[in-house]
Structure 1
Amino acid sequence: MDLQFLRPLFDGDGDVASVHLDTSRGTADSDKQIELRWRAARSALAEQGADADALAALDGVVGGARDVPGPQGEALFASGGRVLAVHTMSEPPSGDTAVNLPVADPLPLALDRDHQLAHVVVAVDREGADVDAYPAAAAAPSFQRTFNGSTLHITRVRAGAVSHAAYHRRSVNLWSENTEQVAEDVREAAAEVEAAVILIAGDPKAIGLLRDHLTARPPRGRTVYVEGGRTDQSAIDVLRASVDEAMHEAMIESHRAVLDELEATLAGGHGLQGLAPVMEALSQGRVETLLLAADRADDPELVGSRRDPMAVVSDATALGDDATTFTAPASALLLRSAVHGNAKFTELLPGTRCADGVAAMLRY
């Protein structure tokens, strides 16, 4: 995963307030619950010495995506009275966090973004389809196409009578024409967002016709057939749940591929594990991909530098006469160094055994 979306968080010189909140919207009192969570986070930041202007700036933007129902989270960052970034997260963080540090602490946000893949959702029936394409980490689609085709004689009648044969053929032809256009929409949508996965649900007959058209000219990405549709709210709810499940499985598969690559690079001498060697490689700009475990409960404090944002050391004396050094949690400094070194990021999935929960694949 590209980390450059985090760069604005690491370009300043002052302390940064970093907040990750559960902003799920699924109950009548969601707004009140979010308000209470923010109030607790704000109090914690104030106790840590957060700048009053930064807190006031966050007051004006906190609250999550109000038009996105269901589970979600929000990551917010502010410094010196200025909001640095606000990001909607696809899932709530494992727990609300609010820290004021010399550097931004965006690990929960990075993990959430790392779990997301560009994808296309297709709900198809006998009259057409809804095609929505989502870039990675987008709460709303960047491509939307609703196609209802020609509804003339679209409903088939009971088979049997010879006099109905032409009527039936007309109906089948319209289904085929509609799904041919839907297939073209799917190809366009998948290309626009560089989709990793295409998820298709709906009427079995229409799905079969769409499958035939897509097989003839496959779109970008892997096609997965899921439950649900667009006929009513119940079908839409089933579609969302099955899409979430399928995307989680796709994420796991994607991560396993990266971890297989890590295993090969470690065996071939082009990978590292453990804090000390990874810190050194990041400081030298040799890291192609940084890998971190999500559980950083035992994260040590390391030393960073405002003068050299790629430097990460365990002892300030290693940076000589640098008067801009400061301490911060390892994960925050490792991510900062990775951003400035143009390294990518991937989570070390639970159960992956790696020294200190840290690894790196090297450029050279």
Structure 2
Amino acid sequence: MKLQFLGPLYAHPGPVASVCLDTSRDQEDPDRALDLRWRKLRRSLLAHEADEATVGAVEAAVGTDDEVAGRHGQAIFAAHGSLLLAERLPEPPDRDSARYGMLPDTLGLALQHSPDIPYAAVAIRRVHLAEAAEEELRLDLETGRWPMSRVAPGTHVHRRIPVDGWPKEADQLLAELVAAVGAGGLELVVLAGDPWSVNGLVRSAPKKLLGHFVKLKDGHYRRPEPGRALLEEELGLLFEGRLSDHDRHQLDAYLGQRARHPEYVEGLAATVAAFQRGQARTLILNRPVRIDRHLWVGAAPTQLALSGEDLSAFGLNYFWEEPAPGAALVRAAAGTQAELIAVPEDVLPVEDGVAVLLRYMLPE
């Protein structure tokens, strides 16, 4: 998973206010519940010497996702009186948090983006038009990147098609999907709804597209609630425990490196050393994330170490102990154009819960 979306957070010097909170709408009087949560977090930021202007910038963004139905959350970042980033979260955090520190605490946000699978959902309904004594098809096409699309759907297209016009419409739709797959923008095309239309679409599809189709067994689907993804529940079952194709290939490459040189790629010490050299291609974290020691960091993404003495030995005069090691590792990855893979601990356990895929191996 690429981390470019975090770029705005590292373009400004700290300190940064990082807030992550539950903004769900599936409860009684959600606005009052959110206000109580935010008041507690606001007091915490001010107690840690956040300036009023920065706290005000966060406050202005809290709850701006109120058009999204159901359970969800928000991650908000601000510095020097300006909002840096506000994103919806497909799941509310396990607990609300507010932190004011030199680095933005981006680990939770990054994990909610994972596994970042690009897909298209196609849902077709057959509707009887009583006034015209005929039928038409109503097609919804939505693209997204799972799981963030649950609360931030991508492009949505709605079309009404006469039944006898479906073959022509199907050809046009297939051409659009082929182009998207060819551009690397789709891994899966999920089909649901009217069996006649869906089966006809599959029969007409070129071979290069067939491997991307997933046809849902149930011919019925529910319209999404406001702000939610098309076929969200079905997609959740389909994508559960799944990695993107790109991430699976990278994990295979990592396993090859680990088999030959585990001392270079597994564990916190090896991961830190790889980032110091700018050698890391991908940061690999076990889920749940449990990194039980602080890191020391400087102003640049590659300036991180297991101790302050290590950074001092590199000739640095300005560095600090970072109590959020996940934030330091994510900044190192984003700042060196490395990627991130979050893999369940029971699927691929790694030492210290941290590993790295290298861009290149050091000479023997």
> Normalised by the size of structure 1, how large is the TM-score?
0.83
Q: Deviations over 1:76-121 (max 9, x none)?
A: 1112212111111222223222112221110011111123321111
Contact 1:291 1:359 in 2 (8 A): yes
CA distance in 1 between partners of 2:311 and 2:46 (Å): 31
Match of 2:326 among 320, 328, 331: 331
Shift of 1:8: 2.3
Query: Does residue 1:359 correspond to 2:355, yes or no?
Result: yes
| Counterpart residue identity of residue 117, structure 2 | L
Whole-angstrom distance in 1 between the partners of 2:239 and 2:117: 8
Assess, with a 3 A threshold, how the Cα gap between structure 1 residues 31 and 190 changes in structure 2: closer, same or farther. farther
* Alignment partner, residue 300 of structure 1: 293
- Cα deviation per residue 1:259-295 (whole Å; 9 max; x = unaligned)? 4432222113385111111111101100000112243
Counterpart of 1:357, as a letter, is G
Partner of 2:106: 106
Whether contact under 8 Å (2:152, 2:229) holds in the other structure is: no
Match of 1:348 in 2: 343
Q: Distance in 2 between matches of 1:130 and 1:299?
A: 47
For 2:69 and 2:119, the matched residues in 1 are separated by: 19
Deviation at 1:64, TM superposition (A): 4.7
Q: CA deviation at 1:360?
A: 0.2
Pair 1:117 & 2:113 matched: no
The C-alpha deviation readout for 1:201-241, integer Å capped at 9, x for no partner, is 00112111111122x3544972212246467679x999331
Q: Counterpart in 1 of 2:200?
A: 209
| Aligned match of 1:282 | 275
Does residue 225 of structure 1 match 2:225? no
Summarize the Cα distance change of 1:301–1:82 in structure 2 as closer, same or farther, 3 Å threshold: same
- Give the RMSD, CA atoms, in angstroms: 2.9
Q: CA deviation at 1:14?
A: 2.5
Q: Which amino acid letter does the alignment assign opposite residue 333 of structure 2? A: A
Q: Residue 341 of structure 2 aligns to which amino acid in structure 1?
A: T
Q: C-alpha displacement at 1:304, in angstroms?
A: 0.5
Q: Aligned partners of 1:88, 1:193: CA distance in 2, in Å?
A: 25
Partner of 1:132: 142
Cα drift, residue 175 of structure 1: 4.3
Task: Give the letter aligned to residue 280 of structure 1.
Answer: A
Shift of residue 55, structure 1, vs aligned partner:
0.7
Residues 343/29 of structure 1: CA separation in 2 closer, same or farther (3 Å cut) = same
Q: How far has the Cα of 1:56 moved from its partner?
A: 0.9
Amino acid at match of 2:270: P
Is the 2:89–2:109 contact (alpha carbons within 8 Å) kept by the matching residues of 1?
A: yes
Aligned residue for 1:92, secondary structure, equals coil
**1:72 and 2:60 are equivalent in the alignment:** no
Kindly state the Cα deviation for residue 36 of structure 1 after the two structures are TM-superposed: 2.1
Select between 44-53 and 247-256 the one with higher mean Cα deviation: 247-256
The residue aligned with 1:168 is: none
Change (3 A) 1:36 1:188: farther
How far apart, CA to CA, are the structure 1 residues paired with 2:219 and 2:236? 12
Q: Which consecutive unaligned segments of at least 5 residues does structure 2 have?
A: 127-136
* From 304, 310, 313, the counterpart of 1:312: 304
CA distance change for structure 1 residues 89 and 231 in 2, over 3 Å: closer, same or farther?
closer
Q: How many Å apart are 1:74 and its aligned residue?
A: 1.2
Superposed displacement of residue 45, structure 1: 1.9
Deviates more, 1:129-138 or 1:173-182: 173-182
Alignment of 1:70-219 (within 5 A): 70-126=70-126, 127-135=137-145, 137-138=148-149, 139-150=151-162, 154=163, 173-188=164-179, 194-214=185-205, 216=206, 218-219=208-209
Cα distance, 1:220–1:119 mapped onto 2, change above 3 Å: farther
In 1, Cα distance between equivalents of 2:224 and 2:108: 32
Amino acid at match of 2:142: D
Give the 5 Å matches for 1:34-73: 34-73=34-73
Flag the 1:103–1:239 CA change in 2: closer, same or farther, 3 A. closer
> Is residue 291 from structure 1 mapped to residue 301 from structure 2 by the alignment?
no
Q: Which has the larger radius of gyration?
A: 1
**Secondary structure of 1:91's aligned partner:** coil
